[in-house]
Amino acid sequence: MSTGRLLRTEALSWMSDVDNVTGGQSQGLVLQPVWDYLLQNHHDFLRSPLFPVVLSVTTYFFLVGLYTVLDLLAPSWPCINRYRLHPDKPVAWPNIWTTLSVTIYNHLFYIFPAAVAQWLWRPPTPLPREAPTLWSFFLGILGCMVVFDFQYYLWHLLHHRVPWLYRTFHAVHHQYNQPFSLVTQYLSGWELFSVGFWATIDPILLQCHCLTTWGFMVFNVYVSTEDHCGYDFPWALHNLVPFGLWGGAPKHDAHHQRPGTNFAPFFSHWDWLGGTHIVPTPSSQTSTGEPDEMKGRKD
């Protein structure tokens, strides 16, 4: 009887080990064909230190281009305008040109030199033969999000609480109290450098696979643009993530209305814990904000 029990236990253990191995293999097989294709067809480009910069910049301009087209169509297309947070205040061409000019300036005088420096001094990216499992891919992106969210919450809070930091570095971003997509990188060089540094260093600290790193970079750009887009689409992340855990465009729009609230870029838990969380309401969208932080703001 004891021998039969022992054999049954060993059999169950062996089946469990097989399930774990095949489960891990099946997760790896999901991304492995994609990774093999990239290695075979774009190996040299992927190894270049310039690739992450090209990926982020391309993603950003694609998204802001898409949202800008929506902004221009919205006044005459009710099916689009109904989702705008401020449907009675269309995005004007002068504001588009102003924010676009600052964005291009930042890319020419900050991002381009940083990319050249990376190309000259940083070694090529090592590309492993194996792709990450699906589990490690999403877990790595989530981990980078959590770390980045904490870093930027502290940075953002500090630059609102210290008047000199606000006036010197962060005030330019708050010249628009009703953000649209091009306001995403309407920033000082210091703020752009800080955000880019964390987005680059966090996957290294967490030892992420390079495919996971690039996935996080694309997702980070997407969320930043969505936060500033000025739309409340049903498929937006804040409408998909339950329990109000996600920030999203309405909460960040409220931050531009009331700059002492909603500092976190992704989640809501730090604002809850810090007492800086507010739920967007019609009254918050018409608030005059904090006078010392909102001088010179634009609609």
DSSP output for 122-180: SPPPP--SSPPPHHHHHHHHHHHHHHHHHHHHHHHHHHHHSHHHIIIIIGGGGGBSS--
Q: Please say whether the dihedral angle defined by the alpha carbons of residues 207, 210, 215 and 217, taken in this order, is positive or negative.
A: positive
DSSP for 184-222? TT---HHHHHHHHHHHHHHHHHTT--HHHHHHHHHHHHH
Contact call for residues 126 and 51 (beta carbons, < 8 A): no
* Gap between the terminal Cα atoms of the chain: 81
**Dihedral, CA atoms, 151, 285, 67, 213, nearest 10 degrees?**
10
Distance, in Å, from the CA atom of 253 to the CA atom of 230, rounded to the nearest integer, reads 7
pLDDT by residue for the chain (299 residues), tens only, comes to: 444 454 344 434 433 443 444 444 545 579 999 999 999 999 999 999 999 999 999 999 999 999 999 999 999 999 999 999 999 999 999 999 999 999 999 999 999 998 898 888 888 999 999 999 999 999 999 999 999 999 999 999 999 999 999 999 999 999 999 999 999 999 999 999 999 999 999 999 999 999 999 999 999 999 999 999 999 999 999 999 999 999 999 999 999 999 999 999 999 999 999 999 998 875 444 444 443 343 444 55
Contact 58, 115 (CB under 8 A): no
Six-digit token string for 169: 């570095």
Find the length of the chain.
Answer: 299
Signed CA dihedral, 244, 247, 250, 251: sign only: positive
Task: List, in sequence order, every residue forming a beta bridge with 189; answer none if it has no partner.
Answer: none
On whether the pTM is more than 0.75, the answer is yes
Angle at 289 between CA 286 and CA 293, to 5 degrees: 150
